[in-house]
Structure 1
Amino acid sequence: MSSDPWSELGSVTQRLIGQRVAAEHPLDIYWVKAADGAPGLLFRGVDPARVPYRLPKPRGLSLEVEEGQDGFEARMFLREPDDRDVFLTLCNDVIAWSGNEKSRSTASASVFRRLSHWHSLMTRARTSAMPPHEVRGLIGELYVLERLIARRSFGAALTSWVAPDDHPQDFAFDTRIIEVKTRVAGARQHVQISSLEQLDSAHLPLSLVVIELVLSDAGDAISLNGLCDRLASTAMDCGVAEEDALHAALLRRGYIRQEAYDVDAYNVAGIMAFDVLAGFPRLTRTDVDARIPQVQYVLDATHLGAFGTDIEAVLGGRISKGD
Structure 2
Amino acid sequence: MTPERLLEIWRELGEQTSSPSGMHRRRLDTESPVDIFACVFWPSRRPGILVEGAGAFRPPGDRLPACRGVRTVHEVASVPGPRTILRVMLDDDSLLDIFAVLSADLVQVVTAETTTGSGLTRCLDRLCMWQILFDRIPAEGLSEERQRGLFGELAVMDSLLLEALAPFPAVTSWVGPDPANQDFIHAGTAVEVKTSLAKRHARVVINNEKQLDERPHRALFLAHLRMDESAALGVSLASLVTRVRDRVKVDPAAARELDDRLTLAGYLDLHAPIYTRRKWLVASTRFFRVEGEFPRLTEHNLPVGVGDIRYSIIADDLAQYEVSAEQVSRLLEVDNV
| AA aligned opposite 2:264 | R
- Give the C-alpha shift of residue 189 in structure 1: 1.2
Retained in 2: the 8 A contact 1:224–1:265?
yes
Corresponding position of 1:46: none
1:285 aligns with 2:299: yes
Corresponding position of 1:221: 234
1:160 aligns with 2:173: yes
Counterpart-to-counterpart distance in 2, 1:172 and 1:234: 20
5 Å matches for 1:31-180?
Answer: 32-33=40-41, 39-41=46-48, 59=65, 61=72, 77-78=87-88, 88=96, 90-93=98-101, 112=111, 118-125=126-133, 126-128=136-138, 129-147=141-159, 148-180=161-193
Counterpart-to-counterpart distance in 1, 2:289 and 2:263: 30
Corresponding position of 1:15: 21
Counterpart-to-counterpart distance in 2, 1:63 and 1:236: 36
- Runs of 4+ residues deviating >6 angstroms: 95-98, 320-323
| Structure 2 CA distance for partners of 1:285 and 1:151, relative to 1, 3 Å | same
Counterpart-to-counterpart distance in 1, 2:241 and 2:207: 25
Retained in 1: the 8 A contact 2:48–2:90?
no
- Give the C-alpha shift of residue 91 in structure 1: 2.6
| Structure 2 CA distance for partners of 1:109 and 1:163, relative to 1, 3 Å | closer
User: Once structures 1 and 2 are overlaid, which stretch shifts more, 207-216 or 144-153?
Assistant: 144-153
Secondary structure at the aligned position of 2:250 is classed as helix
What is the TM-score of this pair, normalised by structure 2? Answer: 0.68
Unaligned runs of 5+ in 2: 27-36, 51-56, 67-71, 76-84, 113-121
5 Å matches for 1:164-243?
Answer: 164-204=177-217, 205-218=219-232, 221-239=234-252, 241-243=253-255
Give a deviation string over 1:11-38, Cα, whole Å, max 9, x none: x773345699xxxxxxxx9661257x69
Counterpart-to-counterpart distance in 2, 1:196 and 1:214: 29
Q: Percent identity?
A: 23
| Structure 2 CA distance for partners of 1:18 and 1:230, relative to 1, 3 Å | farther
Retained in 2: the 8 A contact 1:85–1:127?
no
Counterpart-to-counterpart distance in 1, 2:189 and 2:202: 25
1:246 aligns with 2:258: yes
| AA aligned opposite 2:48 | L
Corresponding position of 1:26: none
| Structure 2 CA distance for partners of 1:287 and 1:109, relative to 1, 3 Å | closer
Secondary structure at the aligned position of 1:130 is classed as coil
Counterpart-to-counterpart distance in 1, 2:283 and 2:211: 24
Counterpart-to-counterpart distance in 1, 2:94 and 2:332: 39
| AA aligned opposite 2:47 | G
Counterpart-to-counterpart distance in 1, 2:244 and 2:336: 23
What is the TM-score of this pair, normalised by structure 1? Answer: 0.70
Q: Count how many residue pairs are aligned between Structure 1 and Structure 2.
A: 274
Secondary structure at the aligned position of 2:249 is classed as helix
Counterpart-to-counterpart distance in 1, 2:90 and 2:38: 20
Retained in 1: the 8 A contact 2:226–2:284?
yes
- Give the C-alpha shift of residue 295 in structure 1: 1.0
- Give the C-alpha shift of residue 172 in structure 1: 1.0
Counterpart-to-counterpart distance in 2, 1:267 and 1:80: 39
Retained in 2: the 8 A contact 1:178–1:206?
yes
Counterpart-to-counterpart distance in 2, 1:290 and 1:112: 52
Give a deviation string over 1:202-256, Cα, whole Å, max 9, x none: 13221111011111122x52211111122222232332x2221110111122222
Give a deviation string over 1:63-104, Cα, whole Å, max 9, x none: 99xxxxxxxxxx9732797xx589745433257889xxxxxx
| Structure 2 CA distance for partners of 1:215 and 1:246, relative to 1, 3 Å | same
Secondary structure at the aligned position of 1:164 is classed as coil
| AA aligned opposite 1:41 | G
- Give the C-alpha shift of residue 195 in structure 1: 0.9
| Structure 2 CA distance for partners of 1:319 and 1:173, relative to 1, 3 Å | farther
